[in-house]
Amino acid sequence: MKFVENYAKENGFSKISLHTRETAIPFYLKLNYQILGNKFYEINFPHQKMFKEI
């Protein structure tokens, strides 16, 4: 994730947004990503939108 964040920053991005399976939320929270909106289902699995200002 550090590579992705650095690449995005070097290429003029100021924010990364993603959606992830509910089971991976703790991983992204440890990397200072924030939850955005409500849980939704994709391919029958609960997902969450998340983002981080970089």
Q: The domain 2-53 is classified under which CATH number: 3.40.630.30, 3.40.50.300, 2.60.40.10, 3.30.565.10?
A: 3.40.630.30
State the pTM of this model: 0.89
pLDDT band at 52 (very low <50, low <70, confident <90, very high): very high
Quick one: which of 30, 32, 40 has its CA closest to 16? 32
Greatest CA span in the chain, whole angstroms? 36
Structure-token pair, residue 49: 């939108």
Say if CB 39 and CB 25 are below 8 A apart: no
Region 12-25: mean pLDDT is: 97
The pLDDT value recorded for residue 22 is 96
pLDDT band at 15 (very low <50, low <70, confident <90, very high): very high
Rounded to an integer, what distance in angstroms lies between the CA atom of residue 19 and that of residue 22? 9
Region 27-54: mean pLDDT is: 97
Pairing assessment for the beta strands 45-53 and 34-42 based on DSSP bridges: antiparallel
Q: Where exactly are the structural domains of the chain? A: 2-53
In percent, how much of the chain has pLDDT > 70?
100
